[in-house]
Structure 1
Amino acid sequence: MTRTRALLAIAPFALLLGSAAGCGSDGDGSAAPGGSALPGSQAPSDAPPVSGASEPSGGASPTGGSGGGGDSGRCHHGEVRLAVQDAPGGGAAGSQYTWIVLTNTSSRTCTVYGFPGVSWVTGDSGQQVNKPAERDTAVSPKRVELAPGKAAHAQVGSPQTGNFGDECKPVQVRGYRVYLPDETAADFVPAPQTVCSADGVGLAHVGPVVAGTSQ
């Protein structure tokens, strides 16, 4: 009876020890359902960077200005020397004709297209007399290519003052103020002559620039 009672008293302690050993093996196995990771620990550390956000595209670089567009080949002020010569035949129909000769003094080939701006000027200050020359649209403009040292011309017709009587108010001028087509800077070209000073009376007329300096 004494041995049996002793065995019965030891049994509960054995059951408690077995249960404790089972709990220790569970902790080395799978994580408990209620466990949580450290903040951010599940974010991948090798995620690829965003591409193209701060790097210029290879096709975004602008092209140069040598593609032949716009005014890249136009003759500019300072590249052309201006002079006046008598037009072949001199004059006709009550007008005196002269040529404004344009010579390319630059080291590049350039082009001229259209009508130059021409006005009479007098005095040291270059004061304009009457209105600018009107365009002679009977001749269609063509693009003229000027190699270095080559020349072209535009013809200017100045009516004789005697054609207009007292309303003409003739004055002596020193020459022309000339703007190349599409340019905003002008040159003075000596060409002394007598012209009408009354506004709009006996205006000069100018043709487009054409190639060459002889007919």
Structure 2
Amino acid sequence: MMMRTKVVSALAPLALVLAAAAGCTSDGGDAAAPGSSALPASAEPSGAAPASSAVPAPSGSGGGGTGGDSTRCHHGDLQIEVAPAPGGGAAGSQYSWLKFVNMTSHRCTLYGYPGVSWVTGANGQQVNRPAGRDPSAKPEHFGLDAHQPAHAQVSMPQTGNFGDADCKPVQAAGFRVYLPDETAADFVPVPMTVCSADGVGLAQIGPMISGLSE
């Protein structure tokens, strides 16, 4: 199936940090499951970039808190980039934020988790499984005004936490990101080393949060 992929620019400083302290990947098969509003799941994004790729997502989507809401934010409405998270991370893990900015002239709504996966390129293969959802964070429905930001935090275990034989580290080109309840993805280029062994060193994604403070 052909994928519509919008390529977005990531923040240069983060690319340098992540290239050194790589996190390991996401949750599902070759196509990353789109984010959804209910609880279990997993993404790609940014800038004023070219067209993007429609990938119907097979795994773990769940029902949508905003699914049917004509005002919800759709693919193409938001610019997505990667930014360093306050605090940087914890022992053995690297935190970063997916930053979403409403590029339309109207207010739209968000609820749930974005779908996030490591991929080998803008139209590349998924590496490992999509990011699992952070069960400690509760998603909230909120409105996003024109040109206002939101974010979701990604936690990535460092590949050094695992032996090479168990981790099978590989170079990923960036994230594939789905907005909640969307089936088209954006690609955010952020080169990093991640685990390719199935289920080892998976990333974790938090829910969409209004603004840029925790």
Aligned match of 1:193: 192
For residue 69 of structure 1, report the CA deviation from its aligned partner. 9.2
User: In structure 2, what is the equivalent of residue 84 of structure 1?
Assistant: 82
- Pairwise CA distance, 1:174: 1.0
Displacement after TM superposition at 1:208 (Å): 0.1
- The separation in 1 between residues aligned to 2:122 and 2:190, in whole angstroms, is 14
Measure how far apart 1:196 and its partner are.
0.3
- Say which structure, 1 or 2, has more relative contact order (CA 8 Å, 6+ apart): 2
The runs of at least 4 aligned residues of structure 1 exceeding 2 Å deviation read: none
Structure-2 residue corresponding to 1:174: 173
2:93 to 92, 95, 104: 95
* Residue identity in the other structure for 1:144: F
Q: Which runs of 5+ in 1 are unaligned?
A: 1-67
Q: Contact 2:67/2:181 (CA < 8 Å) preserved in 1?
A: no
Mapped to 1, the partners of 2:208 and 2:91 lie a distance apart of 22
Query: In 2, Cα distance between the equivalents of 1:72 and 1:200?
Result: 36
Number of residue-to-residue matches in the alignment: 148
State the shift of 1:144 in Å: 2.1
Q: Of 72, 75, 81, which residue of structure 2 is paired with 1:74?
A: 72
Aligned-residue offset at 1:124: 5.5
CA distance in 1 between partners of 2:99 and 2:79 (Å): 8
Cα distance in 2, alignment partners of residues 172 and 70 from structure 1: 38
CA shift digits 1:104-142 (9 cap, x unpaired): 001110011000000001146421000000000100000
Paired with 2:124 and 2:175, the residues of 1 have a C-alpha distance of 9
Unaligned 5+ segments in structure 2 are: 1-65
SS in 2 for 1:120: strand
Conserved 8 A contact 2:121-2:174: no
Alignment partner of 1:115 out of 113, 137, 140: 113
SS in 2 for 1:201: coil
- 1:213 is aligned with what amino acid? L
Q: Identity percentage over the alignment? A: 64
Residues 41-100 of structure 1 deviation map (CA, whole Å, 9 limit, x = unaligned): xxxxxxxxxxxxxxxxxxxxxxxxxxx993211000011100000101111131111100
Question: Alpha carbons of 1:212 and 1:173: their partners in 2 closer, same or farther (altered >3 Å)?
Answer: same
Q: Residue 193 of structure 1: CA displacement?
A: 1.1
Q: Secondary structure at 1:198's aligned position in 2?
A: coil
| Residue 209 (structure 1) aligned with residue 177 (structure 2) | no
Larger Rg: 1
In terms of fraction of residues, the more helix-rich structure is 1
SS of 1:202's partner is: coil
Question: Counterparts of 1:149-160 in structure 2 under 5 Å?
Answer: 149-160=147-158
The Cα RMSD (Å) is 1.5
List per-residue Cα deviations over 1:143-195 (Å, max 9, x = no partner).
12100000100000111001111210011111100000000100001221111
* Structure 1 CA distance for aligned equivalents of residues 150 and 127 of structure 2: 26
